[in-house]
């Protein structure tokens, strides 16, 4: 490895700027660069062997002050004061508690106000900031890119590597600009943008790339919306997703527990202002999308790229030219028990899940609550509302959102990953169909034999009212709003 040489004045992208700023050593002859990691997020599933590795080698966590842990994947969302029933889940949680104690890592346990999904906790504490490098042993770490951070999901060996060295050997990636022009119509959200992007470029389309989301429709989004989009970059196969920081970012951060304050704030903003991609910088690939024509988007298949506008029908695999994709679509329709040509809006669901690191922030809950207010849950449908963190739950309760959900007939749960992946007791029964605000519709993801349609919080809410996949537009047509 060689020493880092100063970068010239060549125009650079946001991603390149963050990378260059964190170069500890430049790789030679194809060996990776050594990149400094500003923030390491830890949870119970992917950390135990990493801690164990440190213990075996007699190494400490190099920077406990840049590390933070929370419990999310295995935690129950009911009766959180009672011991966790499943022994494997309980062991993982207890192991995390012991490890954090032994290695001096800050941990937010079940019952703590900052406990929750790791990707909700980082931003809410103000730890996720523009221009930093963030890693976590979880693929949806890409969420944090919404702040203009370089946020990467890593494996357990890498978790140990970061714990021991606060660095990672990484090879540079390619960059892709995803420009979303125009403005979203009411009832269309960030979730619909990202589902449309993935349907357009495919689940492998982002492979090897860091995606930068740009354009007026992205600028108009709240931080929550940007997080939803960056969250699902991984579903397009990308290494990471980013949005350049701006006034929206600063307004979200200001005053948060770990955001800079005083002179530090001014210094930080001065630096953050330099991060946006330079005019004249080149991307390795570009995709352009028009927000004006976007409609609420839903998936019909078993990967997040298998989606259509809600007003369309279940596609006919016979119309797909690529043989592999056609076979995949046929398999997906069989698993999903759907017939080509069925209008998406006629698909009846058993369950609605409002939650996950994609859509469980207070803004998501607020948007859904606004739709369902004054309505009641469709017959034969259950709805689970799972706030992303204990703090989100409390904030929502302070606004009375819990009452709205409960009056509607939904279940109001404690924070965690919950039915996003069914590692805890919240699972679909075999054959059950779910409209879910989460990010993965893989076979069995939400429970063995469960069928998942990925949707926005607005579509989730309208679907809960009508019992079939629906958007707020359908409610207006129903004439009841």
Partner 1 sequence: MEKFTTVTGIALPLRRSNVDTDQIIPAVYLKRVTKTGFDDALFAAWRQDPDFVLNQPAYQGARVLVAGADFGTGSSREHAVWALRDYGFDVVLSPRFGDIFRGNSGKQGLLAGTITEADAQLLWDIIEADPGIELTVDLVARTARVGDLVIPFVIDDYTRWRLLEGLDDIGLTLRDEARISEFESHRESWRPRTLPAKQVNQ
DSSP characters over 344-365: GGG-B-SEEEE-TTTS-SHHHH
Q: How far apart are CA 41 and CA 120, in angstroms?
A: 11
Contact predicate 472/466, CB 8 Å = no
Task: Indicate the residue among 110 and 199 with the shorter CB distance to partner 1.
Answer: 110
Task: Indicate the residue among 21 and 119 with the shorter CB distance to ligand SF4.
Answer: 119
Range 50-79, binding partner 1 (CB under 8 A): 52-53, 56-57, 59, 64-68
Q: How far apart are CA 305 and CA 347, in angstroms?
A: 19
SS3 424: coil
Cβ at position 327, least distance to ligand SF4 in Å: 27
Cβ at position 148, least distance to partner 1 in Å: 13
Q: How far apart are CA 138 and CA 12, in angstroms?
A: 28
User: Using CB distances below 5 to 8 A depending on partner kind, what does residue 73 bind out of partner 1, ligand SF4, none?
Assistant: ligand SF4
Which of 15, 34, 392, 396 touches partner 1 (CB under 8 A)?
34
Determine if 426 is a binding residue for ligand SF4 (CB under 6 A). Answer: no
SS3 105: coil
Sheet with 23-25: list strands edge to edge.
Answer: 23-25, 33-36, 167-170
Contact mark string toward partner 1, 140..159, x via CB under 8 A: -----------------x--
Comparing CA positions, the residue from 333, 329, 356 lying closest to residue 455 is 356
Which of 357, 372, 404, 465 touches ligand SF4 (CB under 6 A)?
357
Determine if 229 is a binding residue for ligand SF4 (CB under 6 A). Answer: no
Contact mark string toward partner 1, 158..177, x via CB under 8 A: --xx--xxxx-x--------
Determine if 117 is a binding residue for ligand SF4 (CB under 6 A). Answer: yes
Task: Indicate the residue among 347 and 421 with the shorter CB distance to ligand SF4.
Answer: 421
Contact mark string toward ligand SF4, 380..399, x via CB under 6 A: --------------------
Q: How far apart are CA 228 and CA 308, in angstroms?
A: 18
Cβ at position 94, least distance to partner 1 in Å: 9
- Helix, strand, coil percentages (3-state) for the chain, rounded to 5, are 35, 20, 45
Contact predicate 253/259, CB 8 Å = yes
User: Using CB distances below 5 to 8 A depending on partner kind, what does residue 38 bind out of ligand SF4, partner 1, none?
Assistant: partner 1
User: Using CB distances below 5 to 8 A depending on partner kind, what does residue 285 bind out of partner 1, ligand SF4, none?
Assistant: none
Q: Which stretch in 179-187, 343-351, 413-421, 462-470 sits in contact with ligand SF4 by CB under 6 A? A: 413-421
Q: How far apart are CA 195 and CA 235, in angstroms?
A: 9
Q: How far apart are CA 239 and CA 244, in angstroms?
A: 17
Comparing CA positions, the residue from 137, 153, 115, 146 lying closest to residue 388 is 115
Range 252-271, binding partner 1 (CB under 8 A): 255-260, 264-265, 267-268, 271
Q: Which stretch in 120-128, 314-322, 366-374, 426-434 sits in contact with partner 1 by CB under 8 A? A: 120-128
Which of 42, 105, 401, 421 touches ligand SF4 (CB under 6 A)?
421
Q: Backbone phi, then psi, for 82, in 5-degree steps?
A: -100, 155
Tell me the β-bridge partners of 209. Answer: 174
Which of 383, 417, 435, 458 touches ligand SF4 (CB under 6 A)?
417
- Using CB under 6 A as the criterion, which residues of the chain lie in contact with ligand SF4 when the complex forms? 72-73, 117, 119, 138, 140, 356-357, 417, 420-421, 438-439
């Amino acid at each position: 490895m060689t020493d880092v040489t100063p970068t010239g004045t060549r125009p650079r992208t946001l991603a390149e700027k963050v990378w260059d700023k964190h170069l500890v050593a430049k790789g030679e002859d194809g060996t990776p660069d050594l990149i400094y990691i500003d923030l390491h997020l830890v949870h119970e599933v992917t950390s135990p062997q990493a801690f164990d590795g440190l213990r075996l080698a007699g190494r400490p966590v190099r920077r406990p002050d840049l590390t933070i842990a929370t419990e999310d994947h295995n935690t129950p969302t009911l009766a959180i004061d009672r011991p966790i029933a499943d022994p494997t889940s309980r062991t993982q949680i207890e192991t995390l508690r012991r490890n954090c104690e032994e290695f001096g890592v800050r941990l937010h346990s079940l019952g703590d106000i900052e406990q929750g999904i790791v990707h909700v906790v980082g931003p809410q504490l103000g730890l996720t900031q523009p221009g930093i490098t963030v890693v976590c042993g979880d693929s949806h770490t890409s969420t944090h890119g919404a702040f203009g951070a370089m946020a990467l999901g890593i494996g357990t060996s890498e978790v140990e590597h970061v714990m021991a060295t606060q660095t990672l050997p990484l090879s540079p990636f390619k960059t892709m600009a995803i420009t979303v022009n125009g403005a979203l119509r009411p009832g269309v959200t960030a979730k619909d943008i990202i589902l449309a992007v993935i349907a357009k470029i495919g689940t492998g389309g982002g492979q090897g790339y860091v995606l930068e989301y740009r354009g007026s429709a992205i600028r108009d989004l709240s931080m929550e919306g940007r997080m939803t989009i960056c969250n699902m970059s991984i579903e397009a196969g990308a290494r990471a997703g980013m949005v350049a920081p701006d006034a929206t970012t600063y307004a979200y951060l200001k005053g948060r527990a770990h955001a800079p304050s005083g002179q530090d704030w001014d210094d930080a903003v001065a630096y953050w202002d330099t991060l946006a991609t330079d005019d004249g910088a080149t991307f390795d690939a570009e995709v352009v999308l028009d927000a004006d024509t976007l409609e609420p988007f839903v998936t019909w298949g078993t990967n997040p790229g298998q989606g259509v506008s809600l007003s369309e029908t279940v596609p006919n695999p016979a119309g797909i030219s690529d043989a592999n994709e056609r076979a995949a679509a046929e398999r997906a329709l069989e698993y999903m028990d759907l017939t080509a040509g069925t209008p998406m809006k006629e698909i009846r669901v058993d369950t609605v899940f409002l939650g996950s690191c994609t859509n469980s922030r207070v803004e998501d809950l607020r948007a859904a609550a606004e739709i369902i207010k004054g309505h009641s849950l469709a017959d034969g449908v259950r709805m689970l509302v799972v706030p992303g963190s204990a703090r989100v739950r409390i904030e929502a309760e302070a606004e009375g959102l819990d009452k709205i959900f409960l009056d509607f007939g939904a279940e109001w749960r404690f924070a965690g990953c919950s039915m996003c992946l069914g590692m805890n007791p919240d699972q679909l029964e075999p054959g059950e169909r779910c409209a879910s605000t989460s990010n993965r519709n893989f076979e069995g993801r939400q429970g063995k034999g469960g069928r998942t349609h990925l949707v926005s919080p607005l579509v989730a809410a309208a679907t809960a009212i009508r019992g079939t996949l629906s958007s707020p537009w359908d409610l207006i047509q129903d004439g009841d709003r």
